[in-house]
Amino acid sequence: MTDSITYPLLIDKHVLASDRGAPKLDTTLKNTLMRRTPVRTSLIYINAALIIALAMTALLLEENGAVDLPWYAKALSMIILGLVYAHFTELQHELLHGHAFKSQQLNRGLGFICGLFMLNSFSHYKYHHLRHHRHLGHSTKQ
């Protein structure tokens, strides 16, 4: 690292948090960033489950002939499902870092469920993502 790089969140720009080259954050900021968010995560899951249930119900009713949805309603349902499923990747990220819940079993279980929708293994993602963090700041190892 050179002195020309600035880190606005540093206590001292010459002090590094570890051998990874990451800047040392102010303790208050670090505690804020690392705070668990169980209520927020629970609300996101409940909201996602309701959206998935509504969109899938509409598509299944249309598929079985119970209702006749216009093409744009089917397209909108599929787009919404895709967006919710893609958002599960961000939720998996929070869960693998343990930011969501104190219970690692709950984090792992919900992370597994998130991965099902995107055909993404929670364990595989966690292994490679945490490996990425270990080598952060080393351009040859990332």
pTM of the model as a whole: 0.66
Token representation of residue 141:
């190892």
pLDDT tens, residue by residue, 14-24: 444 444 555 66
Give the mean pLDDT of 83-92.
91
pLDDT tens, residue by residue, 103-138: 999 999 999 999 998 898 999 998 988 888 776 666
What are the residue ranges spanned by the domains of the chain? 1-35, 37-131
3-state helix, strand, coil in the chain (%, to 5): 60, 5, 35
**At 140, is the pLDDT very low, low, confident or very high (cuts 50, 70, 90)?**
low
**C-alpha 108, offset from chain centre:** 13
Q: Which pLDDT score, from 0 to 100, does residue 17 have? A: 47
Q: Which pLDDT score, from 0 to 100, does residue 141 have? A: 58
